[in-house]
Amino acid sequence: MNVAILISGSGSNMLSLIDDMTGSHPGRVMLVLSNTPKAAGISKAIARGITAKVVDYQTYKPNISAFESELQNQLEAHKIDLICLAGFLHILGSNFIAAWEGRILNIHPSLLPKYKGLDTHQRAIDAKDDKAGCTVHEVVNELDSGPILAQGYVNILRNDDALSLASRVLVQEHLLYPKVVRDFIHNISTKNSQ
Ligand code: GAR
């Protein structure tokens, strides 16, 4: 199964997926797309031998459909079966999501349904939660709201600030996302072979 990873930033989750999809894994990362040329993950993907392209939202703005058509062109050109959003900070439109429903996953740095959107760690600290974490979910046409596939947990410590909490959550993200993607692809492959 051909996988594309969409990024906007450092690409640490992207690397955890690329590094897991080797050997007998039924998925392979065939393409990395970034919505910004500033994403540090682009050069990391290229260093792993993965095709990485920028579809710069700023050059299409406000023409969302032209931006998403170009994403779609790239995905079709690389015969992509599954999209993994990994630190992708652009909200995709309803037509794009409808076209990929059931074949697009996201990792979000909170225990959904708590703290959709940004600034998740500070919001968990401000709410005096004792636990934080991350969620892998299917993407639907409502922000951070699709069916939850799995969650990873960390305790919030007395001295935590948003940065220290984010770094511990990120460790859980790197464990959780590859595992969920592996199971997701395995389940699809098993269904297709029945
Ligand atoms: C990660 O915590 C990821 O969950 C989050 O961005 C951080 C950086 O990801 N994604 C979102 O907030 C998406 N709404 P990265 O290190 O993989 O680039």
User: What's the pLDDT at 190?
Assistant: 84
Nearest CA to ligand 1 atom 1: 87
- Does residue 12 have its Cβ closer than 6 Å to ligand 1? yes
Token readout for 131 is 């636990």
Report CA(109)–ligand 1 centroid distance (Å): 7
Residue 108 designated active-site? yes
Catalytic residue among 108, 121, 137, 174: 108
CA of 69 to the centre of ligand 1 (A): 24
Cβ(107) to ligand 1 under 6 A?
yes
- The CB of 36 under 6 Å from ligand 1? The reply is no
CB 29 within 8 A of CB 6: no
Q: From the alpha carbon of 9, which atom of ligand 1 is closest?
A: 18
Give the whole-angstrom CA distance, residue 178 versus residue 167: 18
Contact 55, 67 (CB under 8 A): yes
Contact yes or no for 83/75 (Cβ under 8 A): yes
Residue 92: alpha-carbon gap to chain centroid = 12
Ordered per-residue pLDDT tens for the chain, 194 residues: 999 999 999 999 999 999 999 999 999 999 999 999 999 999 999 999 999 999 999 999 999 999 999 999 999 999 999 999 999 999 999 999 999 999 999 999 999 999 999 999 999 999 999 999 999 999 999 999 999 999 999 999 999 999 999 999 999 999 999 999 999 999 988 888 87
| Contact 11 CB / ligand 1 (< 6 Å) | yes
At 77 the pLDDT is 98
Atom of ligand 1 nearest to the CA of 109: 4
Q: Is 133 left (phi over 0), alpha (psi -120 to 50) or beta?
A: left
Question: Residue 38: CB partners within 8 Å, gap ≥ 6?
Answer: none
Domains and CATH numbers, the chain: 2-193 (3.40.50.170)
Quickly count: other Cβ atoms within 10 Å of residue 145's Cβ. Answer: 15
